Amino acid sequence: MIFVMLRVMALGLWRDRAGLVLAFVLPPVVFIVFASVFGAGASGKLDVRAGVVDRTASAQSHRLTRALDQVLGGRLTLYPDRPALLDAVENGRVDAGVLLAGDLGVDPAPVTVLIHPGRRAAGQVLTAQVNAVAAQALPDVMMQREVMRLGPLLALSGEQRGRLGSRPPPAAATPFVTQEVLGGGDPIVVYYAGAVSILFLMFSCMQGAMSLIDDRQTGMRLRLGLSIGGVAPLLGGRMLWLVALGVAQALVLFGVATAVYHIPLLANVGPWLITAVCAAAAAAGIALLLAAACRTREQAQTISTFVILILAAVGGSMAPRFLMPAALQTLGWLTPHAWVIEAYQAVLWRRVVNERVLEAWLVLGGFGAVGFLGALAIERRRKL
């Protein structure tokens, strides 16, 4: 008896391909994503993208930037001045910035690491990397600083002091690198408002879109198919509803974020609304496409769970994107999640509507349009 039931259950799983994928493929995929994110984060091996401004333009600073670029795997970008570097950090083009503003050998704290308040971990890692690179690539310079720091204790002769340079020695406690955290409040609240918003938007839209399958399985699709407008208005009505539902859901979530964390929603309500509509359109399009492609509700539930979790993990809904390896960050741009998070951060934290935001709106609208047209094509072709 026990073995009969065992066999029945085993055959049930074996013949349920979607169930097999959910049981044996999804867990390792999610594991790999999380291990990449948090494993790298915990070991300090973040793929940090950094920007640098070299005001001194000395041989020493060139050696430092070259070595740093090597350590960062070519992810170091040179900027002409501090405002350009600040802009790059604030707008997420780089995770953190390095400002070389003094003589590396003698000036107190000649290197400043500019840290985005939402990416403090990236700033810490970059600070550590600059210190390590300086020790390895500029041993003479670091030795010079150390000797100068210890000068009073070493009772150096006048000639020896002269060889160290004419400037006064740095204060004993002054580090080589200092950190400057940029202002503007804590963007991590906006990050997670966007991240959680798109994650649950996908779930809501999928639930709503599955009425397509219900209609097909009952005679409803037959009846609806006789409507004078054909399939397009029927699908269009669903799309509109899902977008409206998504915007309402985002309103509630961001309303709570505004009430509790004082994010500036009211001051930026226009761009926020456009972002919310675009995000909802993307989620609705993807959900309709999945529902149209699936034959049964069970199949749709399994596949959508898989797709939603993978998109969320890769797109930054589960862990901050800057913690991810560079390849995963690049892959993230294929998900709507990364664009939604980027757009919300821009309009609610940086309070700008720049090219990056317009690009995000366009991409999200594209996700929605492609999903809708794909679903329409499948539904038209499917007939009954």
Query: Judged by CB, which is closer to another protein: 5, or 228?
Result: 228
Q: Closer CB to another protein, residue 70 or residue 296?
A: 296
Q: Which residue in 8, 153, 228, 266 binds another protein (CB under 8 A)?
A: 228
Size of the site for another protein (CB under 8 A): 15
Site string for another protein, 229-258 (x = CB under 8 A): xx---x------------------------
Q: Which residues contact 325 (CB under 8 A, 6 or more apart)?
A: 36, 37, 40, 47
Q: Which of 62, 167, 223, 351 binds another protein (CB under 8 A)?
A: 223
185 binds another protein (CB under 8 A): no
Q: What is the layout of strands, in order, in the sheet containing 76-78? A: 76-78, 50-54, 96-100, 111-115, 177-181
296 binds another protein (CB under 8 A): no
Q: How far apart are CA 18 and CA 147, in angstroms?
A: 67
Applying CB under 8 A, among 136, 227, 296, 330 the residue interacting with another protein is 227
Beta bridge partners of 53: 99
- Span from 24-32, 219-227, 248-256, 348-356 in contact with another protein (CB under 8 A): 219-227
Does position 225 interact with another protein (CB under 8 A)? The reply is yes
Please say which residue, 116 or 221, places its beta carbon nearer to another protein: 221
Cβ closest to another protein, residue 224 vs residue 293:
224
Q: Which residues, listed in sequence order, are joined to residue 97 by a DSSP beta bridge?
A: 51, 114
Given the complex with another protein, which of 234 and 308 has the nearer CB atom? 234
* Torsion angle, alpha carbons of 289, 292, 297, 300, to 10: -30
- Report helix angle 269-293 to 231-261, nearest 10: 140
CA angle 342, 258, 279 (to 5 degrees): 35
Minimal distance in Å, beta carbon 281 to another protein?
24
Site for another protein (CB under 8 A): which residue of 18, 177, 224, 293?
224
Choosing from 226, 260, 266, 355, the residue that interacts with another protein (CB under 8 A) is 226
Task: By CB under 8 A, name the one of 219, 236, 255, 270 that touches another protein.
Answer: 219
Binding site for another protein (CB under 8 A): 218-220, 222-230, 234, 383-384
